[in-house]
Structure 1
Amino acid sequence: MATEDKAESSERLTDFGFERLPWSEKKGRVKGVFDSVAPRYDLMNDAMSLGLHRLWKRFTIARSGLRQGQTALDVAAGSGDIALGLVRRVGPTGRVVVTDINEAMLNVGRDRLIDAGRVRNIDYVLADAEALPFRSAEFHCVTIGFGLRNVTDKEAALASMFRVLKPGGRLLVLEFSKPHLGPLDPAYDFYSFSVLPRLGNWLAGDSASYRYLAQSIRRHPDQRAMQGLLEAAGFERCVHYNLTAGIVALHVGYRL
């Protein structure tokens, strides 16, 4: 018993919002969050960002560099906003693969894309970003929108995305980041930690999941640290774009 307790206490810890827990537990906890929010995911995205998430995603898609007939991978695709834009870029002769580790979210995204009439050149794969089940150098572009901060091993996920990119391909990471709001910082904190959980309770009947989402934003690496992670994974010509005063940042890195 003493040996088992020692092994448990020595397991590496990670963040789950402001909580610290063993690495082995985070995926299950994150799965519970997105199982809960999946049915009202789009509604909550609009409410929590005042609709700005649509503009952030359009900006991301515009910087994909994709052309007709190419291939793209959308990791942690959620309800499929970015994937839909990628499909339009690659056209009927291209291919987009949509992945998510959470089956409930993957089903939400698939239903939305089918409703949009996008069925012929999209594949749906239940997959972990840390170990993507695709051939090396398979995609011209990889995107992950608002998903990386929920990944337990970000370094492993970035290495996996680097591996599946073709030489010359690019990774786009759209994620909440460190804002530069000056005197509005207290208002941003009040919204994040007081208003957002109440919105979650009102619109989705779940305040705890949205409290976690607000906390996870604060724990995610800032712009400089995020660029360092991309470079450590092998990406080159890394740049980032601050959106809405840095509340969100788009990071771009190339496999050369």
Structure 2
Amino acid sequence: MTQSDQQPDTVSFGYEEVSPEEKTAKVGAVFSSVAKKYDIMNDAMSAGLHRLWKDKFVRRVKPQPGEMILDMAGGTGDIAFRMHERGASITVSDINQDMLDVGIERAMERGLDGLVWSRQNAEELSFQSRVFDAYTIAFGIRNVTRIDKALKEAHRVLKFGGRFFCLEFSTTEWPGFREAYDAYSHKLVPQLGQMIAGDADSYRYLIESIRRFPPMPEFEGMIREAGFVNTRVEPILGGLVAIHSGWKV
């Protein structure tokens, strides 16, 4: 067994160290708690910027009519709806059924047909190998218990020539802005979570999970280690958010 195949005794849950099984359960509880208010909180926390980030992300993916795309951790449908508009066939997957239920309800309200909704663990996908043209995951990879396993599964289910795209928070490298954002996120975001969703602790975890996520170069290395080539990182706001991409050849 190689070092990368060995399972860690503990993993990070925000600033805590917990067992892998405990993290999976705790993350599930977080997203079940915030599912109904998730999109409202995204607007509040980012001043609506998350919508622009997601638009830019989908432009980078370039979904095409007839393509099969897996949108992992896509529960509420934000990315899937954008790609569906461009004619791609989208499978929306999430480990959390409460998040999927919100997305399904939103799709029905919009009269959107043709999306496939599938409860999946990113670390152990039930799909056959080499079936998708693209794999997308937005603001979800940092909540996965074993990120390396999820990346390998992403590689497995993609066709040769398939592309991987990940939108995720990182750490901004802009001096001054970094300190200001740290103060805002640690002090104000939990208060917003309490006011809007009645849940400060879940949003405290979400901020802590950003701080524990690997820096951009390290995460790019993990993507390459999973088998992807031509990897690229596109920082936004100095790296506060980043679009990661790679290809399966």
Q: TM-score range by the shorter chain?
A: over 0.9
8 A Cα contact 2:142 2:210, kept in partner: yes
1:67 equivalent in structure 2: 64
Matched, 1:211 2:208: no
TM-score for both structures, normalised by structure 1: 0.92
Residue 170 of structure 2 is aligned to residue 173 of structure 1: no
1:137 alignment counterpart: 130
Matches within 5 A, 1:4-19: 12-19=9-16
For 1:111, the aligned partner's letter is: E
Alignment partner, residue 253 of structure 1: 246
Amino acid aligned to 1:170? R
Q: How far apart are 1:11 and its partner, in Å?
A: 6.7
Name the stretch that deviates more: 175-184 or 154-163. Answer: 175-184
Among candidates 104, 109, 112, match of residue 103 of structure 2: 109
Cα distance in structure 2, aligned partners of 1:39 and 1:67: 31
1:133-212 pair list within 5 angstroms: 133-212=126-205
Gaps of at least 5 residues in structure 2 are 1-6
SS in 2 for 1:124: strand
Aligned-partner Cα distance in 2 for 1:241–1:123:
29
8 A Cα contact 2:171 2:178, kept in partner: no
Q: 1:159 deviation in Å?
A: 0.4
Question: Which position in structure 2 is the counterpart of 1:5?
Answer: none
One-letter amino acid matched to 1:255: K
The secondary structure found in structure 2 opposite 1:181 is coil
Secondary structure of the corresponding residue to residue 123 of structure 2: helix
Q: Secondary structure at the match of 1:125?
A: strand
Ranges in structure 1 where 5+ consecutive residues have no aligned partner: 1-9
**After TM superposition, which residue ranges in structure 1, 4 or more long, deviate above 3 angstroms?**
none
Aligned 8 A contact 1:66 1:140 in 2: no
What's the counterpart of residue 97 of structure 1? 91
TM-score (norm 2): 0.95
Q: Secondary structure at the match of 1:245?
A: helix
Pairing partner for 2:226 from 214, 223, 233: 233
Q: For 1:166 and 1:77, how far apart are their aligned partners in 2?
A: 20
Residue equivalent to 1:3: none
Match of 1:79 in 2: 76
| 1:187, distance to aligned residue in structure 2 (A) | 1.3
Counterpart contact for 2:125–2:153, Cα < 8 Å:
yes
Q: What is the CA distance between 1:88 and its match in structure 2?
A: 1.4
Residue pair 1:223, 1:240 contacting (<8 A) in 2 also: yes
Rg: which structure is higher?
Answer: 1
Instruction: State the partner residue of 1:88.
Output: 85
Aligned residue in 2 for 1:6 = none
Backbone CA RMSD of aligned residues? 1.2
AA aligned to 1:96 is I
Aligned residue number for residue 34 of structure 1: 31
CA–CA distance in structure 2, aligned partners of residues 96 and 184 of structure 1: 36
| Matches of 2:227 and 2:62, distance apart in 1 | 19
Aligned residues: 243
* Structure 1 position 135, deviation (Å): 1.1
- Corresponding letter in the other structure for 1:197: P
Write the distance in 2 (CA, Å) between the matches of 1:79 and 1:149.
17
